[in-house]
């Protein structure tokens, strides 16, 4: 028995030491799969980063951003991941409270207001209702108008299972505050249906099931860039548009803190940011030159955002409030 344990010890030592001396480190990044997919920004970001480090990036993707945090929580301190990239500011406090993340200690220059010791943003978007301008000729110009109109049918996502759905809930909350239940009651007449996620809603909209669908102000850019059609537009609302800021953070359990930090700094580089508008269909967080298609988009200067702390504290109540105003 003693011999056997000695042999195992030697093998383990060899294995670990070979890791220590290996020059090529692997940085494991958990993300959602449209980021890591071959059509997403992942592959070109990987090769750009690998050029300047003696390392390999490995993306491990979950099917959506919400599962990402659950996965990290389930794995706990035993996670192999170094970096998690992909959840948004509404899950920020939940993520911080897991106590699994470590302060990144970087200070990038960004085009949005941001201060957080654990997470740094890599892109942002604004929620908007998308319509086909060959079919809907007079789109509403504000949330108030949408609520008052009775000739418009929309499809939205369920706030319990989808990030844009939660986005709409907070959007309404940030405009109407205590009056939200009333706003929801009027809004419900327009809502054909709720879907479990963004994909079903957008798919149904493209099948002409509704006049408008809840998505992002940047959605028309996809159709411009990849389908060469400009008929899809984002309705610009006077009250402003609710923000979604997507962030990345380093895990405490990471064995490669320095390398992870290098990647966190790389996030605000031009090489990283220039992949975002074309491949993640979101806005970059630095002032880089935007593609042609983005110049045709209307971006609202009134960026609505409820503090993550307040969202964290009130999310359950607000969802119940929404349930009760049906």
Partner 1 sequence: MVIIIITLIAPLLTILLYYDFNSILSSYQPYYLNVIKFSIFQAIISSIVSVCMGILFAHLLFKHSYIHGINSLVNFLSFTFILPTIIIVLGIISIYGNSGYLNYILEFFDLNIYGILGIIIAHVLLNFPFVTRIIFQSLQDISHDEWSLAKHNGLEGFALFKTIEWPAIKKTLPTILTMVFILCFMSFAPVIIFGGGPNFSTLEISIYQALLFEYDFTKAINLAFIQIIICLVFLLIFLFQNRISFFTLSENRASVTNTYSIRYLPDYLLLLLFIMFAFSPLVTIILDGIQSPKLLKIAFSKSFLIALTYTFIISVASGLLSIILTLGLLSFGKNIFIKNSLKRFVVFETYIYLLLVFSPVLISSGFFILFRQYLGILNPGLWIVILINAVFTIPLSYSLIKSSFYKIFFEQDFLSQSLGLKGLTRFILIEWPVIKIPVITAFVVTSVISTSDLVIISFFGTNNFSTLSLLMFRLMGSYQIQESQAVALLFLIYCFIYFVISYKLLTKLKIRIN
Residue numbers of the site for partner 1 (CB under 8 A)?
Answer: 28, 33-34, 36-40, 59-64, 66-67, 69-71, 73-75, 78-80, 94, 153, 158, 160-161, 188, 191-200, 202-204, 206-210, 219, 222-223, 226, 281, 316, 320, 322-324, 326
CB of 148 to partner 1, least distance (A): 20
Locate all alpha helices (DSSP H) within 27-79, ordered by sequence: 33-36, 42-51, 65-75
Identify whether the C-beta of residue 114 lies closer than 8 Å to the C-beta of residue 245.
yes
In angstroms, what is the minimal distance from the CB of 202 to partner 1? 7
Residue 282 contacts residue 243 (beta carbons within 8 Å): no
CB of 103 to partner 1, least distance (A): 22
Shortest distance (Å) from residue 123 CB to partner 1: 14
Closest approach of Cβ 108 to partner 1, in Å?
26
Q: Kindly tell me which of 193 and 265 has the beta carbon lying closer to partner 1.
A: 193
Bridge partners (DSSP) listed for residue 123: 246, 284
d(CA 253, CA 40): 27
Residue 315 CB neighbours (<10 A): 18
Q: Cα separation of 180 and 97, whole Å?
A: 28
The 10 Å Cβ neighbour count of residue 317 is 9
Other beta carbons less than 10 A from residue 14's beta carbon: 10
What are the start-end ranges of the H helices in 52-148? 65-75, 92-97, 143-148
Question: Could you give the 3-state DSSP secondary structure of residue 2?
Answer: helix
Q: Which is nearer to partner 1, 122 or 322 (CB)?
A: 322
What's the closest the beta carbon of residue 243 comes to partner 1, in angstroms? 19
* Min CB(316)–partner 1 separation in Å: 8
Of 5 and 208, which CB lies nearer to partner 1 in the complex structure?
208
In whole angstroms, how close is the CB of 35 to partner 1 at the nearest point? 9
- Give whichever of 94 and 239 is closer to partner 1, judged by the CB atom: 94
| Beta carbon nearer to partner 1, 111 or 161 | 161
Q: Which is nearer to partner 1, 21 or 39 (CB)?
A: 39
Answer for the pair 119, 85: CB distance below 8 angstroms, yes or no: no
**Secondary structure class of 126 (helix, strand, coil):** strand
Number of separate helices (H) and strands (E) present in the chain:
15, 12
CB of 94 to partner 1, least distance (A): 7
Alpha-carbon distance of 304 to 319, in angstroms, equals: 19
Distance CA(156)–CA(163), nearest Å, equals 11
Residue 62 or residue 300: which is nearer to partner 1 going by CB? 62
Cα gap 19→165, rounded to integer Å: 44
Buried b (16+ CB within 10 A) or exposed e, 16-43: eeeeeeeeeeebbbbbbbbbbeeebbbb
Closer to partner 1 by Cβ: residue 109 or 228? 228
Question: Which one, 110 or 210, has the nearer CB to partner 1?
Answer: 210
């Amino acid at each position: 028995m003693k011999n056997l344990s000695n042999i195992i010890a030697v093998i383990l030592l060899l294995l670990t030491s070979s890791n220590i001396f290996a020059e090529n480190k692997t940085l494991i990044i958990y993300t959602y799969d449209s980021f890591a997919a071959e059509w997403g920004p992942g592959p070109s970001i990987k090769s750009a980063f690998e050029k300047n480090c003696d390392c390999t990036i490995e993306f491990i993707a979950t099917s959506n951003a919400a599962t990402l945090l659950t996965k990290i929580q389930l794995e706990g301190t035993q996670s192999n991941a170094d970096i998690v990239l992909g959840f948004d500011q509404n899950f920020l406090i939940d993520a911080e409270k897991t106590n699994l993340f470590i302060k990144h200690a970087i200070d990038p220059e960004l085009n949005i207001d941001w201060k957080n010791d654990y997470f740094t943003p890599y892109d942002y978007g604004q929620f908007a209702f998308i319509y086909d301008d060959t079919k809907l000729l007079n789109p509403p110009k504000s949330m108030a108008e949408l609520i008052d109109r009775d000739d418009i049918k929309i499809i939205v996502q369920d706030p319990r299972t989808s990030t844009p759905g939660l986005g709409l809930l907070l959007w309404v909350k940030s405009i109407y505050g205590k009056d939200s239940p009333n706003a929801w009651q009027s809004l419900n007449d327009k809502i054909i249906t709720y879907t479990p996620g963004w994909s079903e809603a957008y798919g149904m909209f493209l099948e002409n099931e509704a006049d408008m669908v809840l998505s992002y102000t940047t959605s028309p850019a996809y159709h411009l860039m990849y389908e060469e059609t400009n008929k899809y537009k984002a309705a610009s609302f006077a009250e402003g548009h609710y923000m979604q800021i997507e962030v990345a953070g380093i895990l405490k359990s990471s064995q490669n803190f320095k390398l992870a930090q290098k990647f966190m700094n790389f996030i605000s580089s031009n090489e990283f940011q220039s992949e975002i508008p074309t491949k993640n269909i979101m806005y970059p967080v630095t002032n880089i030159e935007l593609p042609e298609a983005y110049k045709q988009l209307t971006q609202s200067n009134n960026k609505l955002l409820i503090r993550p702390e307040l969202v964290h504290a009130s999310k359950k109540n607000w969802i119940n409030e929404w349930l009760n105003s049906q």
